[in-house]
Structure 1
Amino acid sequence: MRDKCNLAIRPKVVLFVVNAPEFFLSHRFPLAVAAQSAGYEVHVATADGADVAHIQASGFTHHVVPFARSGQNPLNELTTLWCLLSLSRRLKPDLMHLITIKPVLYGGIAARVAGIKAVVSAVSGLGTVFMAESKSARVRRWLVTGLYRSAFKQRRLAVIFQNPDDRDTLLSLGALTQNQVRMIRGSGVVLEDYPCVPEPEGVPVVVMAARLLKDKGVFEFVEAARLIKQRGVQIVVRLIGSPDPGNPTSVTQQELDQWADESGIELLGYRNDIARQYAGASIVCLPSYREGLPKSLVEAAACGRAVVTTDVPGCRDAITPGETGILVPVKDPVALADAIQTLAENRTLRLKMGLAGRNLAETEFAIEKIVEQHMGIYQELINP
């Protein structure tokens, strides 16, 4: 009898499914650590990559799933779905946490077929398919909507949205019900890693840090920099990021070479010291076409930097308009240049916005708050 009482209880298993290992580390790693500390056995499924070693070294069990960068090859997509289904059946996690578009769609279908009891789907953005208006895009949107409906037919499901626009879009399409919706404002930021330090003296510096994609507003940022230069405004303009050859909207090397020849725009390439870059800046800019809730703007707020961003889903939800930053119309380089110039020429205003941004980060974006909300959802689904 005593031996039976001492039998070890199998820990609850949570499986994170993310397309890329680097995205897991940058956006969900603190949550996985918290889950592990709470007694969960943590598994992570991503595509292969150099960062897999970091995941394994953290004490998590890693599984390779072949997520393709683009969805152009149906055979590759079916292979991904089959791998997720096989993993789900073999591992039988108590909860699957699906993050980014393909994991949400394919992982949701796999979880449904495999009979997984609890699923968390994190919709961190709906992607370009919900922005384009071409005939082919409308067909793809119809197909993707059908996949969302299928993926969200779960017994116990929580769908986490980062902004109300994405939520309302999928609700209006009948992909889910209101009681399945949860709202969490972004993926959080470790405030200690992004300290609020005084901006440097001298000429103001504006920074954009993002993947160099058309949909991120890179071309509008470069054009705004040209306009600011033509106006004779004293400002340093820096663009941080690298092209993404696997993405059809990526900036080309030829375009980068052309921009490099233009004075007034500093191209810093990929950097992993964003906190340091923001500390050396006065203004942070992200003229994206649509986002979930951009981590770059959350980090800018934590660093106490005024923001210029577009009035689109996700971006407008990452700031308090008029208090922590300025909103401008999307795809409007003139308005973008005007807003950057306004902040460049008004130190008092941008410092005031920066301090308000830090307060916003402390009250809304602190990683502890974000993790606590996720852990509450886990408990709700696993122990109903």
Structure 2
Amino acid sequence: MKPTILLVSNSAFNILHFRKSLWRMLLHEGYDVVALAPGDGKEKLLEAAGLRFVDLPSLQQYGNGPVSDVLLYRTLVRKYRELQPDLILHFTIKPNIYGSIAAKKVDIPSIATITGLGTTWLNGVLLRKITQALYRFSLPTSNVIVGQNAHDLEALQKIGVKAKEWQLIPGSGIDMNEFAPNDLGAPYLAKHFLFLGRMLIDKGLEELFNAWHQIHHLLPDAHLHLVGELDRQHPRCIPEKIWKAGIDLPRVAYHGYQENVRKYIGRSQVVILPSYREGIPRSLLESMSMGKPIIATDVPGCRELAVPRKTGWRVPARSSAALAEAILQASRSKPEELSQLGSNGRKLVREGYSEAIVAQQYLEIIQDLLEKNKAQQ
């Protein structure tokens, strides 16, 4: 029987959607795959796919405080001893920190995946310093630290994080058959722009609304669509005043969270992500896989995908004026120019970010660790 691999994240949703290429590959190879995360309604889909699911209600995405974190660590130690996996893969910040230490405590090899340094790197000096200290203490206990872009790995190294092994794996893997081009969003049909992501201030939503405010009167046949979760519990959720003013602008439509984003991507002319920092944004990869040009910021995680005159437009972060100009340029581009940008983007995804490439990279790391661990026993 193949070894047991444990995937730990802050939600069943995260494992279901963002780790799909990984657990598909592991199941195909015959591994026993267990998901450990807070239940959120998606656990049944994981079980139907062939994973075992173990609930972890003590892992709160936005909870903070030393008492709750100590309790989480103790819970993880207990769970790891009960489940006795051969290898643990941690995703998202709290599993990466406390899960890595817990895995070391019970002598189980582990991998920490940094999917983006995000909010704690961008906002609040005290929070950033605390997080960096926790990373310096916890991440070296992992056998491998995986980053989705080179900038994040360099940033970790600069703050003094030591690693037994560094690995760069670009993203979470895109199923290019699932996210394939269609004719719903042929660029000559209409000027529809799409923002796809959580409604957070760090995603550049304020700049997007300001840009739209500047130019909507110049584009009377253009529409801006927003798809993603508006989670008021998230500490970086867009402020109510900014949100209300933004969605009240002419021809702006908010569609909420959507399980199936393909139809929204397919009906869009261009996909926009004016984020302040990313790992490798899945929303852009999915859109590029479907042949859509993109507008994104010149920040880690986005600049790798938004290649000027090749896949779309790259603009400075936090600049509404530059974002507005890029939207105007995109809206005035010829259909064949947009089609070529979209084709280039799909090619970029195929060559570097597809499901097969990412899953194979993880599989090689996993097999290597399992072999090393077996040899040491």
The one-letter amino acid paired with 2:160 is: G
The one-letter amino acid paired with 1:218 is: L
- Deviation of residue 162 (structure 1)? 0.8
- Deviation of residue 98 (structure 1)? 0.4
TM-score norm. by structure 1 comes to 0.91
Does the C-alpha gap of structure 1 residues 197 and 86 become closer, same or farther in structure 2, counting only changes over 3 Å? Answer: same
CA contact (8 A) 2:172 2:282 kept: yes
Does the C-alpha gap of structure 1 residues 368 and 261 become closer, same or farther in structure 2, counting only changes over 3 Å? Answer: same
Deviations 1:122-154 (A, max 9, x none): 10011212112xxxx333323222222222233
CA distance in 2, matches of 1:195, 1:165: 29
Does the C-alpha gap of structure 1 residues 212 and 382 become closer, same or farther in structure 2, counting only changes over 3 Å? Answer: same
CA distance in 2, matches of 1:317, 1:100: 21
Structure-2 residue corresponding to 1:194 = 179
2:131 counterpart of 1:131: no
2:303 counterpart of 1:316: yes
The one-letter amino acid paired with 1:328 is: V
2:13 counterpart of 1:13: no
CA distance in 1, matches of 2:253, 2:307: 29
CA contact (8 A) 1:52 1:62 kept: yes
Structure-1 residue corresponding to 2:106 = 114
Count residues in correspondence.
368
Does the C-alpha gap of structure 1 residues 14 and 22 become closer, same or farther in structure 2, counting only changes over 3 Å? Answer: same
The one-letter amino acid paired with 1:91 is: L
2:219 counterpart of 1:238: no
Structure 1 vs Structure 2 CA RMSD: 1.8
CA distance in 2, matches of 1:49, 1:238: 26
Structure-to-structure mapping, 1:47-196, within 5 angstroms: 47-65=38-56, 66-116=58-108, 118-132=109-123, 137-154=124-141, 157-177=143-163, 180-196=165-181
CA distance in 2, matches of 1:140, 1:253: 23
Paired residue secondary structure (1:215): helix
1:268 to 244, 255, 259: 255
Paired residue secondary structure (1:15): strand
- Deviation of residue 232 (structure 1)? 4.1
CA distance in 2, matches of 1:143, 1:254: 30
CA contact (8 A) 2:38 2:55 kept: yes
Structure-1 residue corresponding to 2:375 = none
CA contact (8 A) 2:21 2:174 kept: no
2:286 to 299, 310, 333: 299
Paired residue secondary structure (2:35): strand
- Deviation of residue 255 (structure 1)? 4.8
CA distance in 1, matches of 2:47, 2:154: 37
CA contact (8 A) 1:67 1:80 kept: yes
- Deviation of residue 43 (structure 1)? 1.0
Deviations 1:362-382 (A, max 9, x none): 111211111111100101111
TM-score norm. by structure 2 comes to 0.93
Paired residue secondary structure (1:167): helix
Deviations 1:186-221 (A, max 9, x none): 111111111112433333111101110101111111
- More displaced stretch, 76-85 vs 105-114: 76-85
- More displaced stretch, 322-331 vs 52-61: 52-61
Paired residue secondary structure (1:317): coil
Unpaired runs of 5+ in structure 2? 373-377
- Deviation of residue 256 (structure 1)? 4.2
- Deviation of residue 320 (structure 1)? 3.0
1:42 to 22, 33, 40: 33
Paired residue secondary structure (1:208): strand
